Structure 1
Amino acid sequence: MTDPLDRELLDLARTLDAADPLRSHLDAFADAPGVTAYLDGNSLGRPLRDIPEKLAAFVREDWGTRLIRSWNEQWMALPMELGDRIGRVALGAGAGQTVVADSTSVLIYKLMRAAATADPTRTELVIEAGNFPTDRFLAEGVAAETGLTLRWLEPDPVAGVTVADVAAVVSERTALVSLSHVDYRSGALADMPGITSVTHEAGALMMWDLCHSAGVVPMQLDDWGVDLAVGCTYKYLNGGPGSPAFAYLRRGLHGVLRQPIQGWWSAADIFAMGPEYVPSGDIRQLLSGTPPVTSMLAMQGMLDLIEGSTIESVRAKSRSLTDLAVRAYDAVLAPLGVRLLSPRDAELRGGHVTIGHADFRDVTRKLWAEGIIPDFRFPDGIRLGLSPLSTSHVETITGVLAVRDALESGDF
């Protein structure tokens, strides 16, 4: 017989699912045989059900029939058109400031390197010591190339970086502050407008990593005065493994910052094949080589869903899912010594909840074998990544109860 507490949690989840205005979108995603709960949408979003046919049609028609003519007919403009759409749907960014191009790492390097050298009188780059490795590694590399000094923020690991943390380190020496909007570990949601404002008060540029917030947390890059931002498209935008990232560059910085990878796609006249490089004066200046057209296909269907639902509705369901996960944690995991490693307040949290226990590496291995797919993060954290359009409340409770059962069994 089902435990009364389990039944209570599952009944609550069913009630929330029945009232969910976005519940119809659950059927838009492809089935994964053998998977009972997919709780890793913050690492790799599920594919939409119609992706195989869309990819096949692309091969048959756009590529297979139109051949190279498709460059002139549609592909040349795709990086900018898709960037504008991401900006409109998810970023609060006006047209002409967002472009889809390279990997996240390459785009972070381009923008970070350009911003670091914008004002030669400024000698420091501020970044969080616990930021995602790519961000930190790139900051170290840019500092080595440019002679900048790194200033490392060490905030509370659960609450994340605050306005006060940044205000304490920025000065007339600061060239750039580079932070994540949502902490990849705890899910802490940074105060983007507040931190951007205090950075600007010091005369520095502000750059945001949006990888864990784009598509799940509303933002207003234009209104909040953000200078630069980069985000991936394979998490909450469901673009598929290795789908290209996007970069945002505030319009006032076009032609002012100069990115370091000067390829033919960012030239003012792309087909002039001239003897010297003259950069484009618009957002195309952030491109370098030929864009990955095939990898830009899958995310377009997810943008349709987000736009039709509105990013605010997506955020409302995200809060509901993560609140439910925290409630279930309190009921069945806290008594087993599991630690909550995310903020309790949904307003201070992004789209995932992290919990910690010394046995979680082995627990994750067991869960994966049983079709429960959360995400393990060193040293002992499980992230419950709850992508709102593809994850139900019942799926969320199923995953939390499976973590409990694995811990109690000790069979891992």
Structure 2
Amino acid sequence: MALPQSFLDRFDEPFGFMDFASIGAMSIPARAGLAEMADAMSGSRGKLVPMVMDRVETTRGLGARVVGVPTEQVTLVPSTSAGLFAVAFGLAGGTVVVPETEFPANLYPWVRAAEAGRIDLRTFPVPGGRLTADLVAQAVDSGTTAVALSHVDYRTGYRCDLPAIREVAGPALLVVDAVQGLGALRFSMEGVDVMVAGGHKWLRAGGGAGLLAVSERALERLRPALTGWLGVVDPFDTAAPLPHPPLEGADRFVMGSGSFTAVAALCESLRTLLTVSMEDVEAAVLARSRAVEDEARRSGARVMSPWRKDDERSGIVSFSPARESSEDAYGRLVEEGFSLTERNGMLRVAPHASTHPDAPAAVGEILAMTSC
């Protein structure tokens, strides 16, 4: 089903903006929410604290609806990295298994936790860019306490099969970096123990706020090792002896005050997303990314395409131009008003549901001219 125009009208990114895998263009509601909070922070202090607390709780509730868990299993984090660090230092020993192909945000938390002696870290190769359940099964053993991976590969756009990976992970916690899919693709916490996603990419909320969702068994196993003053019972009761006990739910992982403006922006982004079906959003995203792939292939480019079926695809398409360097092709596209990413000899194009249907063809025309 096509997305309603009333939804699409809430986004006004330029025609050539297709870089949501980097820093997504903020939505109109997100910018309005940010501005409202900024105005409040410049005005009456009497109304500010209740407003902040309301936005935090509302955002938690909206985030819980997006990923399908109770509100008490969701908390807010300033970034994907912050959420993963809280999890990495919350594990009580054992081995964490991580693919070698992960973006550094999902590697350094485990490296630092291993350096601190809290866990052992094991990485494994991903031939051809296909992160399959079979590869995970070969990497885990009886001492594995967590498997940490990305729902969508930041380079290729390959979307892994989380239910299949859950089946082979055994009793280990399944920790998912969902930043390259949440807001563009369907996501379910079923079988997932931890989901972390910053709001600055496909959620279109700008930087500074994201979601951390945890399963009941993750709450039982993870220690609140990095918990700060807001992650405890009665945080404002400073007359009581310290430290206070940690909260029961996901808020036990809160370290301290976050960005109030970022939370307000994320709140409106999530509210907007919940006005439509994620199936329809995903269908629109995949239609745009397929069109980008078709145009790239038509120009003679070599496309990184580890997927074999639609549910392994995402909004990301990466390719090498046919007859010129990626730097030269990138420069030409930027001159023509396109926003994308160039990295390691590849161009990465990442359209969203609101990307103009004609934008992929326009990219193809420029690629064809530079490939002659």
**TM over 0.5, shorter chain:** yes
Output the CA distance in 1 between the equivalents of 2:278 and 2:105: 27
Letter matched to residue 154 of structure 2: Y
Letter matched to residue 214 of structure 1: L
Residue of 67, 83, 91 corresponding to 2:45? 67
Aligned to 1:180: 150
Query: Does the 8 A contact of 1:84 with 1:99 survive in 2?
Result: no
Query: Does the 8 A contact of 2:320 with 2:347 survive in 1?
Result: yes
Query: Does the 8 A contact of 2:295 with 2:363 survive in 1?
Result: no
State yes or no: 1:387 paired with 2:352.
yes
State yes or no: 1:244 paired with 2:244.
no
Residue of 153, 161, 181 corresponding to 2:124? 153
Query: Does the 8 A contact of 2:31 with 2:265 survive in 1?
Result: no
Aligned to 1:351: 315
State yes or no: 1:134 paired with 2:105.
yes
Q: What's the CA shift for 1:39?
A: 1.0
Output the CA distance in 2 between the equivalents of 1:212 and 1:102: 16
Give the count of matched residue pairs: 368
Show the 5 A alignment for 1:258-273. 258-273=223-238
Q: What's the CA shift for 1:146?
A: 2.0
Aligned-residue sequence identity (percent) comes to: 21
Query: Does the 8 A contact of 1:323 with 1:346 survive in 2?
Result: no
Q: Alpha-carbon deviations, 1:123-147, whole Å to 9, x = none? A: x210011100121222211111126
State yes or no: 1:81 paired with 2:58.
yes
State yes or no: 1:367 paired with 2:333.
yes
Show the 5 A alignment for 1:260-409. 260-273=225-238, 274-330=241-297, 332-334=298-300, 337-343=301-307, 345-357=309-321, 359-377=325-343, 379-388=344-353, 390-408=354-372
Letter matched to residue 25 of structure 2: R
Q: Alpha-carbon deviations, 1:93-125, whole Å to 9, x = none? A: 23211111222211111112213x1xx4x3x21
Query: Does the 8 A contact of 2:30 with 2:266 survive in 1?
Result: no
How does the TM-score come out when normalised to structure 2? 0.91
Q: What's the CA shift for 1:342?
A: 4.8
Output the CA distance in 1 between the equivalents of 2:127 and 2:24: 29
Aligned to 1:11: none
Output the CA distance in 1 between the equivalents of 2:197 and 2:30: 22
SS at match of 1:146: coil
Query: Does the 8 A contact of 2:33 with 2:267 survive in 1?
Result: no
Aligned to 1:49: 28
Q: What's the CA shift for 1:180?
A: 0.3
CA RMSD of aligned residues (A): 2.2
Deviating above 6 A after TM superposition, structure 1's stretches of 4 or more consecutive aligned residues are none
Query: Does the 8 A contact of 2:18 with 2:340 survive in 1?
Result: yes
Output the CA distance in 1 between the equivalents of 2:273 and 2:31: 20
Query: Does the 8 A contact of 2:77 with 2:209 survive in 1?
Result: yes
Larger radius of gyration: 1
Q: Alpha-carbon deviations, 1:393-412, whole Å to 9, x = none? A: 2112212322332333xxxx
